[in-house]
Amino acid sequence: MSSPKSQTILVTGGAGFIGSALVRYLIRETDNTVINVDKLTYAGHLENLEEIDHSARYHFEKANICDSDEMKDMFRKYKPDAVVHLAAESHVDRSIDGSAEFIRTNIVGTHNLLDIAKEYYEELGEQKKKEFRFLHVSTDEVYGELGEEGFFKETTPYDPRSPYSASKASSDHLARAWFHTYDFPVLITNCSNNYGPYQFPEKLIPVVILKALQGGDIPVYGTGENVRDWLYVDDHARALYKVLQEGEIGETYNIGGHNEKQNIEVVNTICSILDELQPKDKGTYEDQITFVTDRPGHDFRYAIDASKIEAELGWKPEETFDSGIRKTVQWYLDNIDWCEAVTSNNYDLERLGTK
């Protein structure tokens, strides 16, 4: 059941991987107006939005969530009915090399945004106040790591172990505090590893695809046995909208794809899809796999119990890993120009986060 009337939704980080999938979804599938507020760091690219940026319901503002004046302007100018907060520094390896920007954006920036959104909320009339929501988007990495067994539930105690996950955990605590202390209408989601089109080529799946196509070594951390639960990004975008529309204020929802895979399984799957779609002259892509020193503090396993969002809101992932990864590999093959454009000035697929 979606909201009967169209809303103005302010999305932070809408030029990033998940944010742009959400913005494309909102413009394509709903009548809502979207304000995309993004600082355009190395990870934010307006190319991700070309499919919808002609829409009269889409507005882009280059702004920093840490800047109070800029954020106040956003609320004053657009008077949003809801906020979905995705802007963050998001790459664990980069947080190992330098944590300061993670603390600034993920913690200080989230605090700034919460404070300004709360001020705005308190001035709203009764009806608008009743409808207003602030959805804070977070990660399952706040729960720490699992052994061979078990799943993260919404009640799992926090145990973040990287500078990235510690900064996200901190922002989750702030968002929850704004609900409990100020009755500010917060919802929180914690999701597993996303994959799909438009993911900046620094994360496992796009790195493997591009390294394979370049003919170089395909790096696998440690023994490749670490397990992640993979969520197709468009399934995630649908889940976020569902939580925004139907979730209960103050609640947390875990979002996962029921796709637990060892990293090495993911890499082998990509290699075999590439062997089929773009065969090499000689040998197979698996020949390029190289095991490299593990990431420091590499969490062994993440797995999400997504039964709450399924039971309470009726959301389920539509993609299996097999269908999602095939679409993803095909997308990268068809969009090599995008990869070149987004990495041209600042990133060369080099290894990060070795301390």
Which residues are near ligand NAD by CB under 6 A? 12-13, 15-19, 38-41, 43-44, 64-66, 86-88, 90, 105, 109, 137-139, 168, 191, 193-194, 200
Q: Annotated catalytic, 164?
A: yes
User: Looking at beta carbons only, is 81 or 89 nearer to ligand NAD?
Assistant: 89
User: Looking at beta carbons only, is 111 or 211 nearer to ligand NAD?
Assistant: 111
Helix (H) or strand (E) holding 120: helix 110-122
Q: State the catalytic residue, choosing from 38, 81, 89, 141.
A: 141
The nearest distance, CB 340 to ligand NAD, in angstroms, is 17
The nearest distance, CB 61 to ligand NAD, in angstroms, is 10
* Euclidean distance between CA atoms 14 and 23, whole angstroms: 6
* Euclidean distance between CA atoms 43 and 198, whole angstroms: 10
User: Looking at beta carbons only, is 179 or 195 nearer to ligand NAD?
Assistant: 195
* Euclidean distance between CA atoms 300 and 126, whole angstroms: 48
Helix (H) or strand (E) holding 69: helix 68-78
Q: What's the one-letter identity of residue 237?
A: A
Residue in the shown chain whose Cβ atom is closest to ligand NAD: 16
Q: Annotated catalytic, 145?
A: no
User: Looking at beta carbons only, is 204 or 273 nearer to ligand NAD?
Assistant: 204
The nearest distance, CB 323 to ligand NAD, in angstroms, is 18
Q: State the catalytic residue, choosing from 38, 89, 140, 234.
A: 140
Phi and psi of 324, rounded to 5°? -65, -40
Nearest to 62 by CA among 23, 34, 36, 26: 36
How many CB atoms sit inside 10 A of residue 84's CB? 30
Q: Are 141 and 300 in contact (CB under 8 A)?
A: no
Tokens of 210: 């591009």
Q: State the catalytic residue, choosing from 164, 198, 232, 302.
A: 164
Q: Annotated catalytic, 141?
A: yes
The nearest distance, CB 215 to ligand NAD, in angstroms, is 27
Give catalytic residue positions: 140-141, 164
